[in-house]
Amino acid sequence: MANTAELTVDGKSYSFPTLEGTEHEKAFDISNLRDQTGYVTLDRGYKNTGATKSAITFLDGEQGILQYRGYSIEDLAAKASFLEVAYLLIYGELPTQEQFATFETSIRRHTLVNEDMRKIFDGFPVNAHPMGVLSSLVSAMSAFYPDLEGSKEDTTDQHIIRLLAKMPTIATWSYKRGLGHPMNYPKNNLDYIPNFLNMMFSLPVEDYKVDPVVAEALNVLLILHADHEQNCSTSTVRLVGSSQANIYSSISAGISALWGPLHGGANQEVIEMLEDIKADGGDVSKYVDMAKNAKTTGFRLFGFGHRVYKNFDPRARIIKKAADDVLSKLGVNDPVLEIAKGLEEAALHDDYFVSRKLYPNVDFYSGIIYRALGIPTNMFTVMFAIGRLPGWIAQWKEMREQKEPIGRPRQIYTGATLREFVPIEKR
């Protein structure tokens, strides 16, 4: 018989069903809590709240396990292509060769972005942060596809293809304009990642050949970022989408959420922090001490700590090894890699970090690889967004297919109680 949870409040007892996921995580089902008891729950930051049932990604923070649709992140990072993983996340199974060919060809054919989008882009200041620009332009895409009526599932696949195809193209615009270089059009004879690299780095004045080491490193990074269950940006996508807002608006909101320094924006913060440590003489212990006194210094070690991982972040393990491999294959000697390792070493032996279970997360080493690939710091979070896109799409689609009700949390009101209005001349 299924377990039940008993709650006694105001002298009355209530019973609530429990449920168990396929990986044995357990939950109390409190869907009827308020109706039955008159109480709501308070869970700031949703540290204990399951917002949905989902069959996309499983992670176990204690064991350091991450799986997409049942496949381990280690396996996927070593063996799959980013678009295969995108298909897996969105449609639930690894594609057959035929399914993959159709999916990939559709994406190839949609990489071109409407020229009028360029006019919108031209209105941004040259030094606008690429994340703000990306979020705005993805939202603007909704204006170019008027068939996007949220409830019409028949056009969803088309929008999914458009998003996957066009977002990398748009992403490269900020980079090119920042340099004063002409923007490149996509070349559809190239695969997904080489096409992106070509738009980023080729110039009309010389030949550009995609380095397979760079393409492979990017493939791994994008796979590692592709989904992470109900994190802040994904929850944002699902919440916005739950009002039946269209997929472009929902994903645009997710991009904005990702930009924050406690979430995807941490990858930019990490490199800036490592640069500061280098400029300050490379004394990592000074920064570890500052982070230990976060309450007074306001300083946190960016790239450290995670809401769910309390042992290690499996993505960070893969990325740390990849950082060593990629830098040595490319012959790059980046002094901040040594500073990062020194910082990790110091923190992992410090009781403050050990007792709070703070370990390097996915953002700690990823920036060092991006930098070695030639990607500038202000584009790091954009790279995260390109990686996370299939996850956001998959979660949005699942939310729609499960016909989830509009997301609408409760609150505990702590403001003034009813009082009489005083006209302005009497105040």
| Site residues, ligand CMC (CB under 6 A) | 45, 231, 262-264, 266, 291, 294, 300-307, 356, 358, 361-363
* 363 CB-near residues (< 8 Å, 6+ apart): 264, 266, 267, 269, 270, 302, 303, 384
What is the CA angle 206-207-208, rounded to 5? 120
In the complex, least distance from residue 364 CB atom to ligand CMC, rounded to whole angstroms: 7
- What is the rounded CA–CA span in Å between residue 222 and residue 385? 9
In the complex, least distance from residue 282 CB atom to ligand CMC, rounded to whole angstroms: 19
* Amino acid type, 139: S
Smaller CB separation from ligand CMC, 206 or 351:
351
- What is the rounded CA–CA span in Å between residue 237 and residue 252? 8
* 99 CB-near residues (< 8 Å, 6+ apart): 87
For 235, the 3-state DSSP assignment is: helix
- What is the rounded CA–CA span in Å between residue 76 and residue 390? 14
In the complex, least distance from residue 90 CB atom to ligand CMC, rounded to whole angstroms: 21
Smaller CB separation from ligand CMC, 264 or 314:
264
Two tokens at 341? 């390792």
What is the DSSP secondary-structure string of 49-98?
Answer: ------SSEEEETTTTEEEETTEEHHHHHHH--HHHHHHHHHHSSPPPHH
Smaller CB separation from ligand CMC, 141 or 389:
389
In the complex, least distance from residue 356 CB atom to ligand CMC, rounded to whole angstroms: 4
Smaller CB separation from ligand CMC, 83 or 270:
270
Give me the catalytic one of 207, 306, 334, 349: 306
- What is the rounded CA–CA span in Å between residue 110 and residue 158? 10
- What is the rounded CA–CA span in Å between residue 263 and residue 334? 25
What is the DSSP secondary-structure string of 172-196?
Answer: HHHHHHHHTPPPPPP-TTS-HHHHH
Smaller CB separation from ligand CMC, 210 or 386:
386
- What is the rounded CA–CA span in Å between residue 257 and residue 232? 7
Give me the catalytic one of 191, 227, 313, 363: 363
Smaller CB separation from ligand CMC, 247 or 291:
291
52 contacts 61 by C-beta, under 8 angstroms = no
In the complex, least distance from residue 226 CB atom to ligand CMC, rounded to whole angstroms: 13
Q: How many helices (H) and strands (E) does the chain have?
A: 19, 6
Smaller CB separation from ligand CMC, 216 or 289:
289
- What is the rounded CA–CA span in Å between residue 255 and residue 263? 11
What is the CA angle 268-167-54, rounded to 5? 80
| 122 has catalytic annotation | no
Q: Where are the beta strands (DSSP E) in 260-390?
A: none
Smaller CB separation from ligand CMC, 176 or 263:
263
Residue nearest to ligand CMC (CB): 305
In the complex, least distance from residue 100 CB atom to ligand CMC, rounded to whole angstroms: 28
- What is the rounded CA–CA span in Å between residue 186 and residue 9? 62
In the complex, least distance from residue 16 CB atom to ligand CMC, rounded to whole angstroms: 26
Closest by CA position to 184, among listed 398, 194, 127: 194
| 280 has catalytic annotation | no
Backbone phi and psi for residue 282, each to the nearest 5 degrees, phi listed first: 80, 15
Smaller CB separation from ligand CMC, 199 or 273:
273
- The residues carrying an active-site annotation are 306, 363
